[in-house]
Amino acid sequence: MIESKGLELLQFAQVVQHIKHYCFSKAAAQRCEELHPQNDYTLLKPLLQQGMEMKSLLTAGLYFPSIEHQDIEKDIRVLSLEGSVLEEDRLLAIMKTATVADSLIRFLKGKQEELPALFVLAHNLKTNERVIHEIGSILDADAGVKDSASEELATLRQQIREKRKESDRRFYHAVNTFRKLEVLRDNEEGFFNGRRTLAVMSEFKSQVSGFVHSKSESGRTIFIEPSSIIEINNEIGELEIDELREIRRILRELCNYIRPSAPDLSAAYEFLIAMDVQKAKALFAKSIEATLPHINTTFDLKAVNACHPLLFLQNKRLQKSTVPLNVQLDKSERVMVISGPNAGGKTIALKTIGLLQTMLQSGLLIPVHESSSFPIFEKILVDIGDTQSIENELSTYSARLISMTAIVEAANESSLVLMDEFGSGTDPELGSAIAEAVLESLVNSQTKAIITSHFGNVKILAEELKGAFNACMLFDLEKLEPKFILSVGKPGSSYTFEVAERIGFPKHLIARAKNRLNKDKLKLNTLLAEVQDQKSQLEELLRRKDHETFLMKMAKEKYLSLYQSWEEKQDKEKEQRAELRQQALYGQKYLRLLEDWKNKQERKVVIKRFIDGLTAETKKMEAFEKSGEREKQALRKVEKLKTSLKVGSKVRVLNGKEIGIVQELLGDKAVLNFGHLKLTAKLESLVLVTEKET
């Protein structure tokens, strides 16, 4: 798909090194070394989706279980062997790693809807609670076998503790006795072969009965185990042998018990490594502000605000901004010819697209705007830099010819070609002719290609050939320095003399060179520089105009929003005033009836007046309903709302406080999203939310 030389030229290995830096385990770092581009989208799709889910989790600062684990690959292999026994510390490592894996498996199994791609990694895995519980019941936190592991072990250790206590009592009695006799050295005691000894002056050794364990280099001190503790120490030694045998038996039984779980432990360990790699990739993606572009099947490439990841990180450390790149290659414009000054960014532009495409096809997120669209190329063909071969006795030009030949023969509609300064390394006129022939061949092959060149003939041919187009790296004539901005549509000047002047090349030599140069060529180069400068100025004016238009649009939208809000407020106040008037009228009628009732007028007459009043109001409401005035009011409100309501608008339901987002419009109804809750409501019951309310 891409040769190792191409990966080296695109600095893919440096990207891998950055990812390895984020790995927790050595195994994950080694797994990163296996990252390589591939052209099978069915394999790439889950990797890219997993990376996007992990990066979104980390960027949002949401909880994600720890992946810190120990290397237990060798331990699992040993455990799988029948009759094998693992040491306590290795069994504890298995338990801790299985605990981490179980926590992560349970977490992802509960996130099928939120993290579907990561869920797939865990949904077939089994947890290892049985292994964890069994090891935990045998070993303590310091990898020691617990007394409770067996009754025999508990009994042996109790006996050892009692014997040691008695041994200590007898030893200190001996120390006190011989200290009074003044036969001991100042340090008084020693320790040899697990036995406590008295440090006796050699001239008094006959006064101390016991077993001699050692002598000092000077010969002045003899280390003697007192006879009073020899027997009990022998008993302790035997008990310790029995203890070790019992521990070995317990560990053997433990290993036999968990051995059937070795495949599940191996799967859990592999899962942890995979998650370690995914997290490292996501952390790297976060550091370069990467995302997942749209993947297309048409072999079109649209990179919006693309950045070279290594350059981005370097500028980030230096607190400098990185100028983004915009490149589009499609069926009608498939071969881009970039010209411009040396050190102006042509090669970086070339490498940026090549590296991003390689990263994407290696399952990595890339630093582009999410509106970008990338294909999955079958081949990425690269020719960048000096390819001189000492071993094969090839000159730079010969080596580049071989490289160009291989690329031209392999290029097709499903490949991406990247060629830097093609045709260079020989006589300029001959090299230019070769470059023209190669350009024609690339255009005819329907491949997508980005090439850089200083040749004027190539720039002219790119304007004439259908399928090729020019682009250039902009140069600031006033500051005499490159802008590192790619401008599409016209070729650029090489600014040979301007760059030479900028770096301090002698002016008299520049003047002499200009005099020796063909006047028409110098005029063309100057004209290109002027056209490029004018284009830059025009683009700046257009950018300012677009910005002003945008501000005017925003101001208009804000005015309309405020005006609509004012109208709604006026209508609401009008309705409230009418309602208050009606309530006041009802209140007056009620008070008169109440007064007549208190004055003990004819009760039947008062009740009849009350009922007649209710009947009259009911008839008014029925007449209002029959007239269709209520529907007309609702329709006017709906029509008014429709003019400003759209998908994405923020609304409230009448008398409600929660703010929802319009997801879909269905005639006189709208589907609203309130976070995890969706509901359908009539438009007449909705109120647009103002920016102030938001």
* Crossing angle of helices 346-360 and 309-317, rounded to 10°: 110
Q: What is the pLDDT of residue 393?
A: 39
Q: Which of 535 and 604 is assigned the larger pLDDT? A: 604
**How confident is the model over 2-14, as pLDDT tens digits?**
888 899 999 999 9
The residue-averaged pLDDT of 349-354 equals: 94
Residues in contact with 165: Cβ distance below 8 Å, sequence separation at least 6, in sequence order: none
User: How far apart, in Å, do the first and last CA atoms of the chain sit?
Assistant: 51
pLDDT bin (cut points 50, 70, 90) of residue 619 is confident
Q: What is the pLDDT of residue 160?
A: 94
Q: What is the pLDDT of residue 388?
A: 40
Within 10 angstroms of residue 566's Cβ, the number of other Cβ atoms is 10
Considering only the C-alpha atoms of the chain, give the largest distance between any 2 of them, rounded to a whole number of Å: 138
- State the Cα angle at 383 between 45 and 391, rounded to 5°: 120
The residue-averaged pLDDT of 455-461 equals: 83
Which position has the token pair 């025999």? 152
Nearest Cα neighbor of 135 from 97, 83, 106, 82 is: 97
Across 280-294, 493-507, 679-693, least confident range: 493-507
Share of the chain above pLDDT 90, in %: 51
Tokens of 483: 């802008």
pLDDT bin (cut points 50, 70, 90) of residue 455 is confident
Torsion of CA 280, 284, 290, 296, to 10 degrees: -50
Domains of the chain: 20-147+256-287 (1.10.1420), 166-241 (no CATH), 294-496 (3.40.50.300), 643-694 (2.30.30.30)
Torsion angles phi and psi, residue 189, rounded to 5: -140, 165
Helix (H) or strand (E) holding 419: strand 415-419
**How confident is the model over 66-81, as pLDDT tens digits?**
999 999 999 999 999 9
Tokens of 7: 């990966």
Across 43-57, 78-92, 644-658, least confident range: 644-658
Q: What is the pLDDT of residue 463?
A: 86
Residues in contact with 321: Cβ distance below 8 Å, sequence separation at least 6, in sequence order: 315
pTM: 0.70
Task: Give the up-direction half-sphere exposure of residue 293: CA atoms within 13 A in the CB hemisphere.
Answer: 25
pLDDT bin (cut points 50, 70, 90) of residue 678 is confident
What are the beta bridge partners of residue 222?
200, 215
pLDDT bin (cut points 50, 70, 90) of residue 274 is very high
CA distance 338 to 439: 12
Residue 281, helix vs strand vs coil: helix
Share of the chain above pLDDT 70, in %: 78
CA distance 58 to 49: 14
pLDDT bin (cut points 50, 70, 90) of residue 394 is very low
The residue-averaged pLDDT of 34-49 equals: 95
Tokens of 174: 């001996």
| CB contact burial 243-253 (16+ within 10 A = b; e otherwise) | beebbeebbee
Q: Burial-class residue 584 by CB neighbours within 10 Å (0-12, 13-18, 19+).
A: exposed
Tokens of 375: 């294909």
Beta strand pairing call for 650-653 and 660-666: antiparallel
The answer to whether the Cα torsion of 644, 649, 650, 654 is positive or negative is positive
Torsion of CA 284, 290, 291, 292, to 10 degrees: -80
CA distance 36 to 359: 8
Within 10 angstroms of residue 593's Cβ, the number of other Cβ atoms is 16
The residue-averaged pLDDT of 686-690 equals: 72
- State the Cα angle at 93 between 87 and 95, rounded to 5°: 105
Tokens of 395: 């000159």
pLDDT bin (cut points 50, 70, 90) of residue 616 is confident
pLDDT bin (cut points 50, 70, 90) of residue 564 is low
Beta strand pairing call for 325-329 and 301-306: antiparallel
Type of residue numbered 621:
M
Torsion angles phi and psi, residue 231, rounded to 5: -65, -45
Q: Burial-class residue 204 by CB neighbours within 10 Å (0-12, 13-18, 19+).
A: middle
Question: Does residue 298 have a pLDDT over 50?
Answer: yes
Task: Give the up-direction half-sphere exposure of residue 643: CA atoms within 13 A in the CB hemisphere.
Answer: 9
CA distance 330 to 467: 9
Taking each continuous run of H as one helix and of E as one strand, the counts in the chain are 21, 19
Q: Cβ(337)–Cβ(451) under 8 Å?
A: yes
The residue-averaged pLDDT of 480-492 equals: 71
CA distance 350 to 486: 11
Q: What is the pLDDT of residue 297?
A: 92
